[in-house]
Amino acid sequence: MTITIFKKPNGIKRIAAAVLAAATLISVAACGSGNSASASNSLNTTKGKTTTITVGVCAGPYGDMVDKVIAPLLKDDGFKLKTKLFNDYVQPNKALASGSIQANLFQHGNYLKKFTADNNLDLTSLGQTPTLGLGIYSNKYKSIDDIEDGATVAIANDGSNLARSLGVLQQQGLVTLKGEVDATKATVNDIASNPKNLKIKTIDAAQLARSLGTVDVALVPGNYSWAADLKPADALVMEKQDDGVIEVFVVRTQDVDSDFGKAVKKLLASQKFKDAIAKSEFKDFGKPTTW
């Protein structure tokens, strides 16, 4: 005997569609959760195995610092570090936030704070490293006092390093900034006085060392002075470094408590790191404020 149950066809279709939608939603949620977990787990160690970490760097000394000092000291913790070179100050943080690299070392604390706020990125410093400061260089002058009225001065055009450069010019009495301005956000519009009528030219930080052939003075951040083989001893003057312009080793905030995050944080505060730096080519760099 056949028993027939009469249903409206549209009702059956609606039920099937609802079940399918629910299954799809669960599947998507599970995939999202899995991706987040695997991203975090990728910075953890497995006994007997080596975890490879890619660290983003820019032209300058910090890739060498990773390769020659930091990487060897983290080897026993189960990590192999390799560097990836970026040609600007924008992509290393974006690449880190997207997960295409696992850490970076190229920026000072003020830049990290401003860039993450401006771009809504969730990145965190694990600690500071020795830092080659910004220097005032010139092919024309031998001292700060030699700088003439109307001289052309090139500084970085990215917000943080622009403000930093203006701060260094103020340290040397070449300009003064408005009293109420935030020193980490200053622009050329915040110059209150310019007694030598300096012509301030803002250009990409990567071009500052090269610009020395066409400008009178250039303020070059350490990354780029190192790459251009400009020696701190040849600078007219080096900046007086404060906490905000010391380089920081950065990961995504979700990875701070990973095995890698903990290992780096411990290393940067350790005596063995200080001793290794003291024996390296980075021994004369400005030191973290906690040292």
Predicted confidence (pLDDT) per residue in 174-232, tens digit: 999 998 888 778 999 999 999 999 999 999 998 999 999 999 999 999 888 998 999 88
User: What are the distances in angstroms from CA 214 to CA 40, 174, 271?
Assistant: 48, 20, 44
Which residue ranges make up each domain of the chain?
Answer: 51-131+245-279, 135-238
Q: How many whole angstroms separate alpha carbon 119 and alpha carbon 122?
A: 9
According to CATH, the topology of domain 135-238 is D-Maltodextrin-Binding Protein; domain 2 (3.40.190)
Give residue 3's identity as a one-letter amino acid code: I
Per-residue confidence (pLDDT) for residue 109, from 0 to 100: 94
Q: What is the pTM of this model?
A: 0.71
pLDDT tens figures, 144-159? 999 999 999 999 998 8
Per-residue confidence (pLDDT) for residue 179, from 0 to 100: 87
pLDDT tens figures, 223-261? 889 989 998 889 999 999 989 989 999 999 999 999 999
51 strand-pairing partners = 79
Taking the domain 51-131+245-279, which CATH number applies? 3.40.190.10
More confident residue, 263 or 24: 263
Q: How many whole angstroms separate alpha carbon 291 and alpha carbon 280?
A: 17
Per-residue confidence (pLDDT) for residue 147, from 0 to 100: 98
